[in-house]
Amino acid sequence: MSFDRPLDLVERPRRLRRTESLRAMVRETTLSPADFIAPLFVIDGKGAPQPIKSMPGVLRHNVKDLVKECRSLHKLGVPAVALFPKLAARFKDAEGTHALDEDGLILRAVQAIKSAVPGLAVVTDVALDPYTTHGHDGVLTPEGDDVANDRSVAILSEMAVLQAQAGVDIVAPSDMMDGRVGAIREALDNAGAENTAIMAYSAKFNSAYYGPFRDAVGSSKAAGTRLLSKATYQLDPANRRQALNEAALDEDEGADYIMVKPAGAYLDIIRDVREQTGRPVAAYQVSGEYAQIHAAAKLGWLDLERCRHESLLAIKRAGADLILTYFAKDMAKLLG
């Protein structure tokens, strides 16, 4: 075959990729600071920020420093933060009773943030794992071999009301108990918090990618193992149809946002949920996803900045409107 003359092609797709300007003109998916929610860890006291060894660059902040971090994120254009507490052992018990303490750490953190940075949206976690000695997201059955669904839901509903009264914008039940979204919606409405939104962890899988997060909030030590199984309430990673059913149930019960967690290994689920619902879809790029990118980059096997960007782009391309990611601040600096 002679190559003296150009091929007789009807279309040459590479024409649109020839220069950066041409590529930008047809770019289908872009990222901006407004796409991100920054997960933040909070501790009590006045001590210096605590590095989390398994999550490079991520810190546990006291409330005062947390407010400073929130100001910084807000200035960078990040619209929301999601708060997670790391509690001392003395505040934990089998029932997670400190979750209902009206002077609890998270409630004080919410009040401080909303007072200092009122334009920043605040999301709070509704689950008992940071508060229990066993590390599960709810209270246990009398036999101690499983989580008691309905009794847990009652506690979580009270927890959500307290958070709403503290001024939180969005409560985010991450527990995966049956019926909890409807119960929380009813409890919020009855308490006069009808404007508090619910971001449901609707398709939360029993993933192996949560280990660093459990270190960060102390639930792995509370449970005695970072390999704690939550298989009786979190979704089986093998199941796609169940995830869609969970999302549909949460929407019917009043969820304002539908979340998929983890994000990177479940892009197909993000796409399925996006096609099923008209609600905003959130996806959580979890601690293990963050840690593995950093670990490979540290070994020189991956380019940190390119892999960071590509991983987040893939999550948005799959259909996520919002991405919870520990890269939020770095990406906002880059994109702002």
Any idea which residues carry the catalytic annotation? 204, 261
User: How many Cβ atoms from other residues are within 10 Å of residue 195's Cβ?
Assistant: 9
Q: Is 74 exposed, middle or buried (0-12, 13-18, 19+ CB in 10 A)?
A: buried
Whole-angstrom distance, CA of residue 225 vs CA of residue 21: 51
Whole-angstrom distance, CA of residue 71 vs CA of residue 61: 13
Spatial CB neighbours of 21, under 8 Å, sequence gap ≥ 6 = none
For 40, 51, 106, 251, the CA distances from 70, given in Å and listed in that order, are 9, 17, 14, 30
Whole-angstrom distance, CA of residue 293 vs CA of residue 303: 9
Tokens of 181: 């979204």
Q: Taking Cα atoms as reference points, which of 111, 40, 51 lies closest to residue 73?
A: 40
DSSP 128-171: STTTBSS--SSPBPTTSSSB-HHHHHHHHHHHHHHHHHHT-SEE
CB 137 within 8 A of CB 147: yes
Spatial CB neighbours of 321, under 8 Å, sequence gap ≥ 6 = 35, 280, 281, 282
Strands 121-126, 59-61: pairing is unpaired
How many residues are listed for the chain in this entry?
A: 336
